[in-house]
Amino acid sequence: MNEVTITSHAYQSLIEICLRALPEEACGILTGTGTIRRAQPPNVTVTGIQAIRNRSQQPHNRFAFDPKEWIQAYYSMQKNRQSLVGYFHSHPSTMPIPSTADWNGLHAAAHGINYWIVSLQQADKPLIQPYWAENGRFTPLMLTKISI
């Protein structure tokens, strides 16, 4: 199984963002270092998390990036010399398994991207499940936390 790495600081920040958004889904981008190549999950380290406001009409079980905040997040990422390595969203009360809405939105990830789901089904034990999304498929990745 392919592996993806996150710093303990980014890990903490991701969990906090998702808890703060409850009972709605949180969403945003994963930034970091590594090369994105086609056709294979890249070897990346997620070092930063940027929350983007969820503008979905059904924010309890869907997410949609606020377009303005999405652009701001993108520029702030570039300013900090970070790369976009993926997207995340949370599942407030279900397992970290892609929902029908997630499958329907998958066409946006045709070129391959990290697609992480944070499950808060057990709020005291948040669960982060990274997937590699490409060609209409979600492939689970193994998550490794590192402290720098």
In the complex with Zn ion, the residue whose CB is nearer, 15 or 47, is 15
- The CB-of-97 to Zn ion minimum distance in angstroms stands at 8
**Considering only residues 102, 106, 120, 132, which one is a binding residue for Zn ion as defined by CB under 5 A?**
102
Segment lying near Zn ion (by CB under 5 A), choices 41-49, 70-78, 95-103, 124-132? 95-103
- Pick between residue 48 and residue 91 the one whose CB is nearest to Zn ion: 91
Stretch that binds Zn ion, among 44-52, 76-84, 92-100, 121-129 (CB under 5 A): 92-100
When asked if residue 139 is in the footprint of Zn ion (CB under 5 A), the reply is no
Contact 48, 10 (CB under 8 A): yes
Write out the residues near Zn ion by the rule CB under 5 A. 99, 102
